Amino acid sequence: MGVFDVAADAYVRFMGRFSAPLSGPFAEVGLAGVDRSARVLDVGCGPGMLTCELVRRQGASRVSAIDPVESFVRATAASYPGVDVRGGTAEDLPYADDTFGATLAQLVVHFMRDPAAGVREMARVTVPGGRVSACVWDHAGGRGALSGFWRVVQRCDPEAEGEATLAGSTAGDLTRLFVDAGLREVDETLLEVRREFATFEEWWQPFTLGVGPAGAYVRGLNQIERVGLEGALREEHGDGPVTIQAGAWTATGVV
């Protein structure tokens, strides 16, 4: 999670612009059939985009959230004072067995140190009959929120790794993780979001904040390389508006 050890505001400006609109549809799927009185957990909450949606639906006193990045923990706790916000990792959740009616991880599985262990932990802390859900951008299918960026990067730098090989980024990946964790009635769908940016600069500038693998890649370029990449991206997208249509593989299963 080192590439996310950044200020909460930087994350919001970079990925929050996509994860915030995704949180509503994802919560709709992840809370399907879950009682409004049930406790729910946001795993890898970041600065609280999904937490906000869970609070709206369940009430702050029924929501818990956890993240390994201290700046994110502080930001979420400050924004939602009624939520139980803790520091910790998905692979070692500090909750008792059978605690939550639903456990959700939005855009997190592909950055877990051990995705299989993380999903098993999510299942462990969820009550029998409760729901476990996760979503990951369709990086491998070229429909992720950052796919357009990585396509241009890899044309300029064929050795750049991108994010297409990360866990959950390919159709069926999340289903396999869920089935292996013992979850049943597993269903995988593709949720889509659309964002429009008035100018190229509005879309591009957050890539320079050093957030995630994309931000780390940009930060690692020298000045000439960065100017070259920016020019290639501008040639691809134009001066604006820039429209991003993104899809995230989303799996749900029952404990």
- Global pTM? 0.94
On whether the CB atoms of residues 150 and 118 are closer than 8 A, the answer is no
Residues 97-137 have pLDDT tens digits of: 999 999 999 999 999 999 999 999 999 999 999 999 999 99
Q: Is the pLDDT of residue 239 over 80?
A: yes
The residue to which tokens 């877990």 are assigned: 112
Cis bond upstream, residue 206 (ω within 30): no
- Residue 6: per-residue pLDDT: 83
Contacts of 79 (CB under 8 A, 6+ apart): 47, 48, 51, 52
pLDDT digits (tens, 9 = 90+) for 129-180: 999 999 999 999 999 999 999 999 999 999 998 899 999 999 999 999 999 9
pLDDT at 2: 57
| Nearest alpha carbon to residue 108 among 124, 126, 88, 78 | 88
How far is it, in rounded angstroms, from Cα 31 to Cα 177?
20
How many CB atoms are closer than 10 A to CB 126? 29
DSSP structure string for 161-213 = --STTSTT-STTHHHHHHHHTT-EEEEEEEEEEEEEESSHHHHHGGGGG--HH
Mean pLDDT within 68-91:
96
Q: Which amino acid is at 186?
A: V
The whole-angstrom separation of Cα 175 and Cα 57 is 26
Backbone angles phi and psi of 30, in degrees to 5: -70, -20
* Percent of the chain residues past pLDDT 70, beyond the cut: 99
Q: Could you say which DSSP state residue 68 is in?
A: S
Q: Which residues of 88-100 are buried (b: 16+ CB within 10 A; e: fewer)?
A: ebbbebebeeebb
